[in-house]
Structure 1
Amino acid sequence: MLRLFLALIELIRAIGRGCRRLPRQAATALGAPEAGGSPRPEQLWWCLALVLPMALFAAVLIPQLMLVMSPSIEAWIVRKAPGPIERGDYVMFTLRHPIAGPKPILVTKHALCLPGDRLTMIETPSLQAVHATDGRYFCNGALLGVSLPVAHNGMKLEHMHWSGIIPKGMIYVGSPHPRGFDSRYFGLLPTRRLTRIERVL
């Protein structure tokens, strides 16, 4: 993620340097000769041929792209992908929880257990804390993840205590990361709160 950010900064700097030279080069191309040189109008056309597609790309594509800041998901850049949510799809939603801070944040997860699937939660003694339990979550018999009693910042975590057939309009979201904050803790989510997205990078 840091390498991508630095590459974007370098690209912006390069464009900025080119734009600072553009007025002088455009003037030369249109007939104002530089010292010791002759007018070269083809330079202006080359410059426009380079800049205009980049501007169009930035105006159309960049607003549709979203950065994924969570290490629990194997994607850096995503975009909206309208359509019905299927198993394994990336989904984005707004999370409001003390662990996320005072303001709501956008979160990206996978749709892992869908309406009609059987979700089973089994509690076991925690390996992370004394006098605590972990929740193991299975979808149709396949392990989805294990909850932890304490977050990385020391905050106590309560896991979801529910098993059964997932009702219509609800989805279990999660990630393969052992410390991912997902439905293990905040429960099933209504599909109306989820936006289907796809990975770009």
Structure 2
Amino acid sequence: MINVSPSLPYWAIWLERGVMPTRGEIIVFDPPPSALLDAHFGEEPKPFAKKVLGVAGDHISEKARTYFINGKPVAKAKVQSRNGEKLALGPTGTIPRGCYYVGTDHVDGFDSRYGAIGWICRPRVLGVGRAIL
């Protein structure tokens, strides 16, 4: 797949379909439907690729829009999108079985820190991405 987003430093990713990712790997998934997603990526967005930062059993917490996995800070959530839409915070608590907290180091990454993405669970997972370029 071709990555057109600046949220990961790779522009070409090989998709291994049907493989479930582990912590630190690239997960490729169909993003959940939302008006915010439609506004930024169209009504039929391409699959997303992010890093798996949290796995089942990990504890996700948020304080002052900073997200933590098992007490370690991983991301800061913005208040609004680049187009001015309010960005709802993503879920907190213990990640359920078959679900992942996905993210990037990019300040504008659209990932699990936001409610429109949330945790990515097994039915949305397409597979594991391997960076090739």
Q: Which has the larger radius of gyration?
A: 1
SS at 2:30 equivalent: strand
Q: Percent identity?
A: 31
| More helix, by proportion | 1
> What's 1:142 paired with?
72
Q: Flag the structure with more relative contact order, 1 or 2, with Cα contacts below 8 A and sequence separation at least 6.
A: 2
**2:27 aligned to 79, 91, 103, which one?**
91
Alignment correspondent of 2:130: 198
| Corresponding position of 1:78 | 13
Counterpart-to-counterpart distance in 1, 2:94 and 2:28: 23
Corresponding residue for 2:46? 105
Q: TM-score with structure 2 length normalisation?
A: 0.84
Q: Give the match's secondary structure for 2:123.
A: helix
1:169 pairs with 2:98: yes
Shift in Å, 1:73: 0.5
- Inter-partner Cα distance in structure 2 for 1:199 and 1:104: 21
The residue number in structure 2 matching 1:156 is 86
Please give the root-mean-square deviation of Cα atoms over the aligned residues, in Å: 1.5
Please give the TM-score of this superposition, normalised by the length of structure 1: 0.57
CA positional deviation for 1:157? 1.4
Tell me which residue corresponds to 2:111.
182
Alpha-carbon shift at residue 116 of structure 1 (Å): 1.1
Unaligned runs of 5+ in 2: none
Aligned partners of 1:182, 1:191: CA distance in 2, in Å? 16
| Separation in structure 1 between the aligned mates of residue 25 and residue 80 of structure 2, nearest angstrom | 28
More strand by share: 2
Letter in 2 for 1:90: I
- Off by >6 Å, runs of 4+ in structure 1: none
Question: Could you tell me how far 1:191 is from its partner in structure 2?
Answer: 2.3
* Cα distance in 2 between the residues matched to 1:142 and 1:182: 17
Q: Determine helix, strand or coil for the equivalent of 1:81.
A: strand
Consecutive unaligned residues of structure 1, counting only runs of 5 or more, are 1-65, 125-134
Q: How many residues are treated as equivalent by the alignment?
A: 124
Aligned equivalents of 1:90, 1:74: Cα separation in 2:
12
